[in-house]
């Protein structure tokens, strides 16, 4: 192989989170201006990036997102997550142990002050309740549409084939994004969901 081909084949990971602080990351919480980290929602403790609601009197639909400063189109994004503690008071039942990676997202500076979710494809990061099945790495489509096998997917969320993860165990999720052509969700090294042609459209975004 030529040098160019060898260089292209190298899989060199870029560490988006430095393990020390939120440098390079911008919070946007519903009801607050871009950059305001209400109630210390997003914080770094012990080398871990945490989302915490311990300083909230009540959740009050203050959905928040943390945006990375750089844009990517063709990439693999990897995250290891877990859930600990109790749900914030007043949060909706569907939001129990519910986080996500928002890919193909609108830029945060274009969001309305009170907008709840960015227009995006969400790779759900979910934890199971005490009983019942609840797969992780599903896809939800706030303000977007996706296709599978050439057909537009009807419905806001589509389940993956991933198992249910209960308790406070760590789970590794990867999402392979090939621009606007094809997206794959991977859990602990196993592909659990695929879809194509993400585009703006549909509902499920307020304000």
Q: Among residues of the chain, what percentage have pLDDT more than 70?
A: 95
β-pairing, 139-140 vs 121-126, is antiparallel
Q: Which two tokens stand for residue 129?
A: 């309740």
Terminal alpha carbon distance of the chain: 53
- The DSSP code sequence of 62-96 is --EEEEESS--SEEEEEEEE---SPPPTT--GGGT
Tell me, what's the pLDDT at 3? 53
Tell me, what's the pLDDT at 96? 87
Q: What are the helix (H) ranges across the chain?
A: 3-9
Tell me, what's the pLDDT at 1? 43
Which regions of the chain are under pLDDT 70?
1-11
Tell me, what's the pLDDT at 148? 97
Distance CA 153, CA 195 (A): 9
For residue 16, give every residue at least 6 positions away whose Cβ sits within 8 Å of its Cβ, in sequence order, or none: 24, 68
Distance CA 190, CA 95 (A): 25
- 71 close to 63: Cβ distance less than 8 angstroms: no
Q: With CA atoms as reference, report the closest residue to 71 among 99, 43, 106.
A: 106
Helix, strand or coil, per DSSP, at residue 32? coil
Query: Which residue spans within 69-204 are E strands per DSSP?
Result: 74-81, 98-103, 121-126, 139-140, 144-148, 151-152, 157-158, 171-178, 182-187, 190-200
Q: Which two tokens stand for residue 36?
A: 């305001």
Tell me, what's the pLDDT at 30? 97
Tell me, what's the pLDDT at 202? 84
Tell me the pLDDT tens digit for each residue of 71-92: 999 999 999 999 999 888 888 8
User: CA 159 from chain center: how many Å?
Assistant: 15
Bridge partners of residue 123, in order along the sequence = 101, 139
């Amino acid at each position: 192989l030529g040098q160019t081909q060898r260089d292209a084949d190298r899989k060199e990971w870029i560490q988006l989170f430095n393990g020390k602080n939120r440098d390079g990351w911008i919070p946007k919480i519903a009801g607050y201006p871009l950059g305001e980290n209400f109630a210390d929602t997003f914080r770094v403790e012990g080398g871990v990036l945490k989302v915490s609601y311990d300083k909230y009197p009540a959740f009050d639909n203050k959905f928040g997102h943390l945006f990375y400063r750089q844009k990517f189109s063709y990439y693999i994004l990897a995250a290891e997550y877990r859930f600990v503690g109790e749900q914030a008071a007043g949060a909706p039942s569907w939001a129990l142990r519910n986080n996500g990676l928002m890919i193909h997202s609108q830029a945060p500076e274009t969001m309305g002050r009170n907008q709840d979710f960015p227009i995006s494809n969400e790779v759900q990061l979910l934890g199971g309740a005490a009983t019942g099945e609840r797969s992780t790495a599903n896809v939800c489509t706030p303000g977007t549409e996706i296709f599978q096998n050439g057909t537009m997917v009807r419905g806001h969320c589509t389940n993956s084939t991933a198992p249910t993860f209960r308790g406070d165990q760590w789970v590794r999720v990867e999402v392979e994004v090939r621009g606007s052509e094809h997206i794959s969700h991977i859990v602990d090294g196993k592909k659990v969901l695929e879809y194509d042609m993400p585009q703006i459209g549909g509902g499920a975004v307020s304000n």
